[in-house]
């Protein structure tokens, strides 16, 4: 049986891990390869690196990091953050990454999804969606898409965007709830469920994990194929092995 996946996310700046919540970065927290190796040993099913390097030689910095990780860690990993062109995708994939996650660039140029999927295969194109619930006062229901690390509201409906990304050739959706991110009150289960029902590709739930039950809810009621978390794992509050024992105990298929 296909197992549900647990994915730690590492924020990386200029080749170093920075700890913090998704939208507020904090202190230097070590070498990405060491962290990746530790997560691998603890039973992580995949890794996601969110690169926040703002530099003209970003592509080379990211490629170096990817090569180092790929040489030593034998589980799949995704790289995202500021990748804009087919050339960017090629550089990162050739260096050894398994998947690319696209967010702002995919919204700006949706054809990048189809171009990337045609050239490298849908399996390596992950569309990252940052979504926030619409203001109820506006009278509109649902969730809307934000770009630029959550700073820019673009007015698109998150469900429609997910379905369109799938049609363009996306292989997976990484769905972050901006309302829940950093709160530790749980994933946005209704959002996750709505998107999972709207597409036939795997959905990775992100944003809001605080305790064991939250992961279970996203994977069952939410219909997610995988769950992603950052700070909860980084700060050692939750061990991946303990989380997996818990989920297995509740009857989920876990590696």
Q: Which residues are catalytic?
A: 11, 130
Answer for which of 27, 135, 139, 200 binds another protein (CB under 8 A) is: 200
Closer residue to another protein, CB minimum distance, 4 or 234: 4
Which window, 81-89, 90-98, 142-150, 236-244, contacts another protein (CB under 8 A)? 90-98
Answer for which of 39, 49, 120, 233 binds another protein (CB under 8 A) is: 120
Answer for which of 171, 186, 207, 222 binds another protein (CB under 8 A) is: 171
Q: DSSP string covering the chain, please?
A: -PPPEEEEEEEEETTEEEEEETTEEEEE---HHHHHHHHHHHT-S-EEEEE---STTHHHHHHHHHHHHHHH--S-EEEESS--SHHHHHHHHHTT-SEEEESHHHHH-THHHHHHHHHH-GGGEEEEEEEEEPPGGGT--SEEEEETTTTEEEEEEHHHHHHHHHHHT-SEEEEEETTTTTT-S---HHHHHHHHHH-SS-EEEES---SHHHHHHHHTTT--SEEEESHHHHTTSS-HHHHHHHHHHTT----
Does the protein bind another protein through residue 198 (CB under 8 A)? no
**Residues within window 5-64 making contact with another protein, judged by CB under 8 A:** 5, 40, 45
Closer residue to another protein, CB minimum distance, 66 or 178: 66
Closer residue to another protein, CB minimum distance, 20 or 202: 202
Closer residue to another protein, CB minimum distance, 39 or 187: 39
Does the protein bind another protein through residue 255 (CB under 8 A)? yes
Answer for which of 51, 130, 172, 217 binds another protein (CB under 8 A) is: 172
Query: Which residues here bind another protein, judged by CB under 8 A?
Result: 1-5, 40, 45, 67, 70-72, 74-76, 93-98, 118-124, 171-172, 200-202, 225-226, 255
């Amino acid at each position: 049986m296909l197992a549900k996946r647990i994915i730690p996310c590492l924020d990386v700046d200029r080749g170093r891990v920075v700890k913090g919540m998704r939208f507020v970065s904090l202190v230097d927290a070590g070498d990405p390869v060491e962290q990746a190796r530790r997560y691998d040993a603890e039973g992580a099913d995949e890794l996601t690196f969110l690169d926040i390097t703002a530099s003209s030689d970003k592509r080379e910095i990211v490629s170096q990091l990817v090569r180092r990780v790929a040489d030593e860690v034998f589980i799949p990993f995704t790289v995202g953050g500021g990748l804009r062109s087919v050339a960017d995708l090629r550089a990162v994939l050739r260096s050894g990454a398994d998947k690319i996650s696209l967010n702002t660039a995919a919204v700006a140029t949706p054809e990048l999804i189809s171009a990337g999927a045609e050239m490298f295969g849908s399996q390596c194109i992950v569309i990252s969606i940052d979504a926030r619930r619409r203001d109820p006062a506006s009278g509109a229901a649902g969730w809307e898409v934000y770009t630029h690390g959550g700073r820019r509201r673009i007015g698109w409906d998150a469900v429609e965007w997910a379905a369109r990304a799938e049609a363009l050739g996306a292989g997976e959706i990484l769905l972050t709830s901006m309302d829940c991110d950093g709160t530790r009150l749980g994933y946005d289960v209704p959002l996750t469920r709505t998107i999972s029902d709207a597409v036939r590709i795997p959905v990775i739930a992100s944003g809001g994990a605080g305790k064991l039950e939250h992961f279970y809810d996203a994977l069952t009621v939410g219909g997610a194929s995988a769950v992603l978390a950052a700070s909860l794992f980084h700060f050692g509050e939750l061990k991946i092995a303990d989380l997996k024992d818990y989920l297995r105990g509740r009857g989920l298929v876990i590696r």
